[in-house]
A and B are shown apart, each in its own frame.
Chain A
Amino acid sequence: MSGSKYLLFLGCVIPYRISSYEISTRKVLDKLGVELKEMPEFNCCGFPLDPINHDMMLTLAARNLCLAEQQNLSIMTLCNGCFGTLNHVNKELKEDEKIREKVNGYLKEIDMEFEGTITVKHLIHVFAQDIGYERIKESIQKPLNPLHVAQHLGCHVIRPTKYVGFDDPENPSVLKELIEITGAKCLNYMDEMECCGAPIIGVNDKIPLQLAREKLDHIRAVGAQALVTVCPFCHMMYDLNQPRIERTFNEKFDIPVLHYPQLLGLAMGFSPDELAFKQLRVDASRILTN
Chain B
Amino acid sequence: MLKNEKTQEKEMKKEMMLKVSDIDPKFKYEISKLPGAENVLLCFQCGTCTADCPIARFDDFYRPRKLVRLVQLGLKDKLLSNDVIWLCSTCFTCIDHCPQDVGIADIVRALRNLTTREGKMPVVYKEIASNILKTGYAYVIPGLRLKKREEEGLPSLPKASVENLAKLCDITGLSKMLEKVRT
Contact = CB atoms under 8 A, between A and B. Distances in A.
B89 A199 contact: yes
Interface string B29-59: 0000011000000000000000000110011
B174 A49 contact: yes
A54 interface: yes
A286 to B, nearest CB: 24
Interface string A104-148: 001101100000000000000000000000000000000000000
B86 A51 contact: yes
Contact of B109 (A54, A200, A210): A54
Interface in A154-206: 155-156, 159-161, 169, 193-195, 197-200, 202-204, 206
B93 A15 contact: no
A59 interface: yes
Interface string B44-76: 000000000011001100000000000000000
A96 to B, nearest CB: 9
Given A41-B159, A56-B174, A199-B90, A51 B164 contact: no
A52 B90 CA distance: 14
Interface in A31-62: 38-44, 48-56, 59-60
A49 B132 contact: yes
B11 interface: no
A63 interface: yes
Interface residues of A, number: 56
A160 B136 contact: no
A106 B112 contact: no
A51 B90 CA distance: 10
B47 to A, nearest CB: 19
B20 interface: no
Contact of B168 (A39, A48, A56, A202): A56
Contacts of B89: 195, 197-200, 207-208
A211 interface: yes
A110 B171 CA distance: 11
Nearest to A111: B164
A222 interface: no
A16 interface: yes
B145 interface: yes
B79 interface: no
A53 B138 contact: no
B129 A49 contact: yes
A79 to B, nearest CB: 11
Contacts of B155: 38
Given A12-B137, A49-B132, A203 B109 contact: no
B99 interface: no
B55 A52 contact: no
B169 A54 contact: no
A169 B96 contact: yes
B141 interface: yes
B23 interface: no
A240 interface: no
Nearest to A211: B54
B2 interface: no
Contacts of B113: 51-54
Contacts of B80: none
Contact of B92 (A38, A99, A155, A211): A155
B154 A44 contact: no
A43 B136 contact: yes
Contacts of B112: 51-52
B147 interface: no
30 contacts: A16-B137, A22-B154, A41-B161, A43-B160, A49-B132, A52-B177, A53-B113, A53-B172, A54-B113, A56-B168, A56-B172, A56-B174, A59-B168, A60-B168, A106-B171, A106-B172, A110-B161, A110-B168, A155-B90, A155-B92, A156-B92, A159-B96, A197-B55, A199-B90, A202-B124, A204-B87, A206-B58, A207-B87, A208-B89, A276-B152
Pairs A-B, 5 closest by C-beta atoms = A202-B124, A195-B91, A159-B92, A43-B136, A12-B138
